[in-house]
Structure 1
Amino acid sequence: AMRRGAYAVMVTGSHIPEDRNGLKFYRPDGEITKADEAAILAALGDIEASDATTSPVPPVPEPDAIARYRQRYRAAFAPRILEGLRIAVYQQSSVARDLLTDLLAGFGASATPIGRSDTFVPIDTEAHRPEDVAFIRGVMASGDYDALVTTDGDADRPLMADGTGRIVRGDVLGLITARYLGADTAVVPVTACSALERSGGFKQVIRTKVGSPFVIAGMEQARRAGARAVIGFEANGGFLLGSDVRVGENVLGILPTRDAMLPILASLAAARAAGLSLADLVASLDAGEMASDRLPNTPAERSGAFLARLGEAGFRDDFLRPIGSPQAVDQQDGIRIDLDGGRTIHFRASGNAPELRCYAEARSARDA
């Protein structure tokens, strides 16, 4: 759509039940912003009150879109960059399931498709479902694979597990990918790990509210300020390329909307180039440990009331006393609280489902 200068609508299918999937809107220059959302909502009343009708515009087929997307990565990465890796491709209902298998094989990996489904599977790449964790561990227990890869339904968020069957956090995949691409500026939501500032090697890290429109706005701000290689990513693994970057001798063009393919390819390539397993590469980052989960079917008014109380110092101290002492508070998106011992806990209401989410960060998995 950007190449043609066209408006676009994306049919989404992610971690929520299929009856709640929706639409995502794009202008010719990219994904709509929060300001656009406000303008759209403001205009709805005018449209409903109007007698004006419009004739539907017939869609224009783009039979070469998948081929161009495949070529985007074939032109950037060396042909046999994943030579010798054994990858399980958990296909489920992802729209990228065949393309992902084909691309990995094209870069020299042994890509084995598993778990194909004819019905929608709501893969959450951030708060992992117990059945997905158990399935992945069972697959990897065979010792037949170096890694497992998959995406959510609409293929804009990756999910990867190392050879032990442990799922690699989405923000860690983002960190690996950003370093592999030589980014100087990272734009991430407040839910991403604090290791970015500590060990990311970036000139600057810009923190935003949760949601790709906020990350995109941050990337645009960084570009205007003169940043050279700008990337963005989220705790769910979705990766946004805010400027053209070099991959070896090749150039990978800007793509400022969530993408799952780049972090999958770059993370595997980074491990291969370092001569490390994916697990050892992750361990070398010293990124700490995070845990996250959610309370589903929690109405916004209940989440809102709880978050409002957490904003009160007295309630916050009492509520968190069993686990630690609050040191600092960030209310940019929900309530993110720094605790003693270099730990954080973050509560926020989901923006696209009636859910209350919690994120915890600590030095060890046990503490998280």
Structure 2
Amino acid sequence: MPPKFGTSGLRGLVTELTDALVAAHVRAFLAACPHGGGVHVGRDLRASSPRIGQTVLAAVREAGLEATDCGAVPTPALALAAMGRGQAAIMVTGSHIPDDRNGLKFYLPTGEIAKSDEAAILAALEQAETGGGTTGPLQEDPGCGAAYATRYTEAFGPRALEGLRIGVYQHSSVARDLLAEVLQALGAVCVPLARSEVFVPVDTEAVDPALRDLLPAWTAQHGLDAVVSTDGDGDRPLLADGAGQVLPGDVLGPLTARMLGAKALVTPVSSNTLVEAMGDFAVTRTRIGSPHVIAGMEAALRDDPQARVAGYEANGGFLLGFEAQGPAGPLPPLMTRDALLPLIAPLAAARAAGQSLAQLAAALPARFTASGRVTGIDTQAAAALIAALEAEPEARAAFFETGAPEQALDLTDGLRVLFESGEVVHLRPSGNAPEMRCYAEAASAPRAEALMTAHLDRLDQRLSRG
């Protein structure tokens, strides 16, 4: 599948992300979008990222702009540093996808690019010209992660996690060292786990079964109160409780929002409906992808500049749209997908309440989600299947098996079916990879898992036959 530009930026096979193709996308971004006279460039720990990063830096300088090399750094830390200087940013990362793929994420001086920016970049792609004037300066900022860490240590304080023993699943996350440093500064004892010198793709939304099996073993072996991690570029969190059970991202989001005093939440249609049942927030649903969440947050802030609005995704990434108050100090807004906040806030909230993470989560409405994906599929076959299911009620009745009739159909993003039992099955083809996602929701975790597994099997059977 050739490199594709979309909601997650540019992604594709490393062998197809040539220097010429990468440079062309950088030039198109600089031609189509505001950049503030310079670009901060960061990268994850994939084997291909240093080479691609150097290509990005060279393209920025060829355009006559200042290029700031931030090295290996989490995506939200890069965005925070660039926004602080009023400049654009480009992150070299493929996020959670395998090491044979990579990509670019683009940020304006004000934050993530919007859907309109994506269209402008694509329009400029064929027209962007190479440089030829003055070469822009190159500088380094290897410590840009420090300001990102300080953001949390100052807001939460040195006793927020005191007494907690937390495992840090390091794997190949670019945030692994910074994450441990922040947790220790907040009073926790950190136990490093499974550091890898080769890239390990970690999907925080569809956690690999092998990792799910490891988590309880780690918590028991090391006497842990929790295990934390992030995806490869550090903008999606993974949090497991003291029994090694994963708290999904669409549970972390409401817990974090409640702790920070948010009153309005924006989240994609795929997120757990427990957030509405909580009754704490005015909830707006969007299509899947942080640009859609940001657009919803911006609309809320246009209506009320003082709105205490936040956003989150089912993958756990959290976006803060107002100045919140932490236990020790203010926490400024950061409207880009972040992993540290939805790790720290639930841990701090549980400790302050004298509860475990499991007890904190158990107090939420009993709605449970599960998600997974079928990979290596033919994207045209996936699109054809979704189109047929959308158009034909009989086809849906034959495909879905929940034991209850269909109650409602939601086509906001993919195909989301609500059944009279209250259960949900949601199918969505990926926009940038040969895979199909399946989300399921039910009144118990085992039932949600069973629904998801059964429908993934059906997808695999249908799509593997083409």
TM-fit CA distance, 1:250: 2.1
Partner of 1:17: 98
Aligned ranges 1:243-258 → 2 under 5 Å: 243-248=322-327, 250-258=329-337
Structure 2: how far apart are the matches of 1:143 and 1:342? 39
Partner of 1:214: 292
Give the CA RMSD over aligned residues: 1.6
TM-fit CA distance, 1:55: 5.5
Structure 2: how far apart are the matches of 1:109 and 1:200? 32
Partner of 1:269: 348
- Aligned-partner SS, 2:319: strand
Partner of 2:241: 162
Structure 1: how far apart are the matches of 2:131 and 2:158? 54
Structure 1: how far apart are the matches of 2:268 and 2:132? 40
Partner of 1:125: 204
TM-fit CA distance, 1:247: 1.8
TM-fit CA distance, 1:59: 3.5
Partner of 1:8: 89
Structure 2: how far apart are the matches of 1:228 and 1:248? 21
| Cα 1:118/1:4, change in 2 over 3 Å | same
* 1:330 maps to 2:410: yes
- Aligned-partner SS, 1:192: coil
TM-fit CA distance, 1:51: 7.2
Partner of 2:426: 346
Per-residue displacement from partner, 1:147-177 (whole Å, max 9, x unpaired)? 0001111000000111111111011011110
Which amino acid counterpart does residue 10 of structure 1 have in structure 2? M
Partner of 2:159: 80
Which amino acid counterpart does residue 344 of structure 2 have in structure 1? L
Structure 2: how far apart are the matches of 1:173 and 1:255? 17
* 1:33 maps to 2:114: yes
TM-score by length of 1: 0.95
What percent of counterpart residues are identical? 52
Which amino acid counterpart does residue 180 of structure 1 have in structure 2? M
Question: Contact 1:13–1:152 at 8 Å: present in 2 too?
Answer: no
Please, which moves more after superposition, 282-291 or 50-59?
50-59
- Aligned-partner SS, 2:441: strand
Structure 2: how far apart are the matches of 1:54 and 1:256? 35
Per-residue displacement from partner, 1:86-140 (whole Å, max 9, x unpaired)? 1011111111111111111111111111111101010010111122112212212
Which amino acid counterpart does residue 126 of structure 2 have in structure 1? G
| Cα 1:107/1:92, change in 2 over 3 Å | same
- Aligned-partner SS, 1:317: helix
Which amino acid counterpart does residue 261 of structure 2 have in structure 1? G
Question: Contact 1:179–1:200 at 8 Å: present in 2 too?
Answer: no
TM-score by length of 2: 0.76
Unaligned stretches of 5+ residues in structure 1 = none
- Aligned-partner SS, 1:142: helix
| Bigger proportion of residues as helix | 2
Structure 2: how far apart are the matches of 1:51 and 1:152? 34
TM-fit CA distance, 1:53: 4.6
TM-fit CA distance, 1:275: 1.0
| Cα 1:109/1:51, change in 2 over 3 Å | closer
Which one of 57, 64, 69 corresponds to residue 148 of structure 2? 69
Which one of 251, 261, 265 corresponds to residue 186 of structure 1? 265
Structure 2: how far apart are the matches of 1:8 and 1:55? 21
Unaligned stretches of 5+ residues in structure 2 = 1-81, 449-466
Which amino acid counterpart does residue 299 of structure 2 have in structure 1? Q
